[in-house]
Amino acid sequence: MNNLTDKDRVLIFDTTLRDGEQSPGATMTHEEKLEIAELLDDMGVDIIEAGFPIASEGDFRAVSEIAKRAKNAVICGLSRANFKDIDRCAEAIRHAAQPRIHTFIGTSPLHRAIPDLTQDEMADRIHETVTHARNLCDNVQWSPMDATRTEWDYLCRVVEIAIKAGAGTINIPDTVGYTAPVESADLIKRLIETVPGADEVVFATHCHNDLGMATANSLAAVAGGARQVECTINGLGERAGNTALEEVVMALKVRNDIMPWHTGIDTTKIMHISRRVATVSGFNVQFNKAIVGKNAFAHESGIHQDGMLKNRDNFEIMRPEDVGLSGTSLPLGKHSGRAALRDKLEHLGYEVGDNQLKDIFVRFKELADRKKEVFDDDLIALMHSGENAEADHLQIVSMKVVCGTGGPAEATVEMEIDGKDVTATAHGDGPVDATFKAIREIYPNKARLQLYQVSAVTAGTDAQATVSVRLEEDGMIATGQSANTDTVVASAKAYVNALNRLLVRREKTGPGADTREISYKDVM
């Protein structure tokens, strides 16, 4: 049975690379976008919204490259309701085996006021733009932005226009996270019952999480007849985020008794992609986040552990393995060899080539010398710490930090800049401040520190700290990461990693190229 004839199949539309990446600070590099798209494709996502091609040269390049590479998924680009946007979008997705244009306009009274269009003018605009998109691509999705605050009669009218103009998917966004489950189900159900031609198209739901109801609202919309859920990995997205893919998919799997619909997602790939999205976006997952949080499968309290030992079902409604967490995880140690490391990394979802393995093995040995047991989380941190890569312009060579209660901290940092050795000493309010000042003395820059985040990878005082540093310079944002058993060393390396990324971004984009602010006001 294919997706269209299987009435119980819910299509998963992932917008991590568009709505997710739109979240301030979550900017990803070109390579990171390609990697995430490949993981999404591989896990069975039906439609990948790869970006907003008119927004920037970088977005355009990413959407076109993802379109060329996708193996299974439909590749979709977003466009506002104007011909220029739609043409650019069509151009970006044209190499996809299965392309889709997604065009939208804000239909609620508040959003209609932005381009200052009357109801009739907007209705005409919808007819013209969906028709134009349909002339360029057979697969068109249309969204009335802020649908949940749009007048009922007007919503029915514009949905009918979009269907008549050839849209095959009608997405009903809860743009500001305002709706509630009962209302969400009812809205989709009534639209399907009321709008002529509604039974010929797929209805989609796109919920934001401002009131913490995005997953509930999406599932309710499915109960009301929606057969496409729009979501992001880890719920990444503007403000409180979008519906989390992993929550919808696992809810449908675990509670299939009362929600008899299914998706095509390979759930064992969830943890790996969740970690990658957290790393590349710099948005850590909260420990108690459903499905993918560090504590989601942890059973710490004595009473829970006792219950678990007697019968896992006492406290576990799904198995960690279902989402790709390895059941048993024996730590590696300093006597573990290359084969054991490769085996463990493969188990964690990483395919490493011989050269990469050589590099990771050296760093693994260094870590194992400092730390008796190297756990899965240590290895994941190692895989993603922005350690000095050979191609990096800036590298930390050595550092010495003195701190105490008697005065300011002092840091002496030695760095290599394009092969030249430079050393500086600086004082600061604590060891990290002193270290960052020394780095700025060696490599003066005007990047602003937007985020400095430290978390312990595992338990114990010898635990590695992972540090994320987000820098902003002239509208360009870069996130650096590093992990080390020494928090100050990890901080310095994460800072330098972010500086290296800023440098790459500057070289690739030139002044201002990737920083254009797009406005929802530009309708025509």
Q: By CB under 6 A, tell whether 145 contacts ligand KIV.
A: yes
- Binders of ligand KIV in range 18-47 (CB under 6 A): 19
**Among ligand KIV, Zn ion, none, partner that 479 touches (CB below 5 to 8 angstroms by kind):** none
Please give the sequence-ordered ranges of beta strands (E in DSSP) within 403-514, or none if there are none: 409-417, 420-428, 448-456, 465-473, 476-484
Dihedral over alpha carbons 500, 502, 505, 507 (to 10 degrees): -70
Nearer to ligand KIV, 150 or 491 (CB): 150
**Which span sits near ligand KIV by CB under 6 A: 169-177, 299-307, 384-392, 469-477?**
169-177
Provide the minimum distance between the beta carbon of 19 and ligand KIV in the complex, in angstroms, as a whole number. Answer: 5
**Which span sits near Zn ion by CB under 5 A: 11-19, 41-49, 82-90, 516-524?**
11-19
Which of 139, 128, 37 lies closest to 98 in space, CA to CA? 139
Nearer to Zn ion, 240 or 454 (CB): 240
Contact call for residues 141 and 159 (beta carbons, < 8 A): no
| Interface characters, 331-370, with ligand KIV (x: CB under 6 A) | ----------------------------------------
How far, in Å, CA of 388 to CA of 98, rounded?
39
Which of 374, 345, 376 lies closest to 359 in space, CA to CA? 345
Nearer to ligand KIV, 173 or 386 (CB): 173
Question: Which residue intervals of 225-353 are DSSP H helices?
Answer: 245-254, 270-281, 302-310, 338-347
Provide the minimum distance between the beta carbon of 174 and Zn ion in the complex, in angstroms, as a whole number. Answer: 9
**Among ligand KIV, Zn ion, none, partner that 117 touches (CB below 5 to 8 angstroms by kind):** none
Which of 136, 105, 137 lies closest to 123 in space, CA to CA? 105
Q: By CB under 5 A, tell whether 14 contacts Zn ion.
A: no
Q: Which residues contact 510 (CB under 8 A, 6 or more apart)?
A: none
Nearest residue to Zn ion, scored by beta-carbon proximity: 19
* DSSP character string of 342-387: HHHHHHTT----HHHHHHHHHHHHHHHHH-S-B-HHHHHHHHHS--
Nearer to ligand KIV, 143 or 209 (CB): 143
Contact call for residues 14 and 247 (beta carbons, < 8 A): no
Contact call for residues 47 and 20 (beta carbons, < 8 A): no
Contact call for residues 48 and 42 (beta carbons, < 8 A): no
| Interface characters, 180-209, with ligand KIV (x: CB under 6 A) | --------------------------x-x-
**Which span sits near Zn ion by CB under 5 A: 17-25, 27-35, 211-219, 257-265?**
17-25
Provide the minimum distance between the beta carbon of 171 and ligand KIV in the complex, in angstroms, as a whole number. Answer: 6
- Binders of ligand KIV in range 69-128 (CB under 6 A): 104
Candidates 107, 139, 148, 175; binder of ligand KIV (CB under 6 A) is 175
Q: By CB under 6 A, tell whether 143 contacts ligand KIV.
A: yes
Nearer to ligand KIV, 147 or 439 (CB): 147
- Mapped onto helix, strand or coil, the DSSP state of residue 415 is strand
Residue 306 structure tokens? 């006792």
Nearer to ligand KIV, 13 or 443 (CB): 13
Which of 397, 384, 359, 379 lies closest to 481 in space, CA to CA? 384
Provide the minimum distance between the beta carbon of 111 and Zn ion in the complex, in angstroms, as a whole number. Answer: 13
Question: Which amino acid is residue 510, in one-letter code?
Answer: G
Angle at 501 between CA 496 and CA 504, to 5 degrees: 130
Provide the minimum distance between the beta carbon of 240 and ligand KIV in the complex, in angstroms, as a whole number. Answer: 12
Nearer to ligand KIV, 108 or 274 (CB): 108
What residues does 103 pair with on adjacent strands?
79, 142
Nearer to Zn ion, 216 or 394 (CB): 216
**Among ligand KIV, Zn ion, none, partner that 411 touches (CB below 5 to 8 angstroms by kind):** none
Q: By CB under 6 A, tell whether 173 contacts ligand KIV.
A: yes
- Other C-beta atoms within 10 Å of 441: how many? 15
Which of 381, 398, 391 lies closest to 435 in space, CA to CA? 398
**Which span sits near ligand KIV by CB under 6 A: 30-38, 54-62, 156-164, 168-176?**
168-176
Residue 266 structure tokens? 């390979």
**Among ligand KIV, Zn ion, none, partner that 344 touches (CB below 5 to 8 angstroms by kind):** none
Q: By CB under 5 A, tell whether 387 contacts Zn ion.
A: no
Nearer to ligand KIV, 20 or 282 (CB): 20
Candidates 10, 11, 14, 19; binder of Zn ion (CB under 5 A) is 19
Name the residues that contact ligand KIV, by CB under 6 A.
19, 104, 143, 145, 171, 173, 175, 206, 208
Name the residues that contact Zn ion, by CB under 5 A.
19
